[in-house]
A = this chain, B = another copy of it.
Amino acid sequence: MSVEELFSRQKLMSLFGATLARVAPGEVDILLPYCEDLAQQTGALHAGTVAAIADTAAGLAALSMMEPDSGVVSVEFKVNLLAPAIGTTFLAKGRVVRAGRTISVCTADVIADGKTLVATMLATMMRRAPRS
């Protein structure tokens, strides 16, 4: 499945209003405009919202390096919340650190308004073989 096709099938990303901003080998960026419905008690984005776009960007970055028709699942991820996720737009930048045949390791930074690093993720992704 292509990065674009897989992204378009993720209903959570539609619910969030997130879009694919950039797709290159090993690099996928996801753009999220701020929306009050995605916030926690202070009005900043919920850590779960931040994790969701970071995980998606990381997983799609991994997928972009796999053989055609692969699928991808998250094995695990770890995210540090570095600053309150306050801003108008958020960019989650997924990058492949090591592309393996089965297991890929990725990072994802989430940046508010093009300047503030609000979170950084280190994730393990696994290739799924295409269904025959």
Contact = CB atoms under 8 A, between A and B. Distances in A.
A15 B48 CA distance: 12
B78 A124 contact: no
A102 interface: yes
Contacts of A11: 36-40, 46
Nearest to A105: B80
A23 interface: no
Q: Find the residue from A82, A83, A97 having the highest chain B CB count within 10 A.
A: A82
A129 B92 CA distance: 30
Contacts of A10: 39-41, 46
B47 A80 contact: no
Contact of A48 (B51, B102, B120): B51
A49 interface: yes
9 contacts: A11-B46, A48-B48, A75-B80, A75-B81, A75-B103, A80-B98, A82-B98, A82-B105, A97-B117
Interface of A: 1, 6, 9-15, 36-41, 46-49, 51-53, 55-56, 59, 71, 73-83, 97-98, 102-103, 105, 107, 117, 120, 122, 124, 126
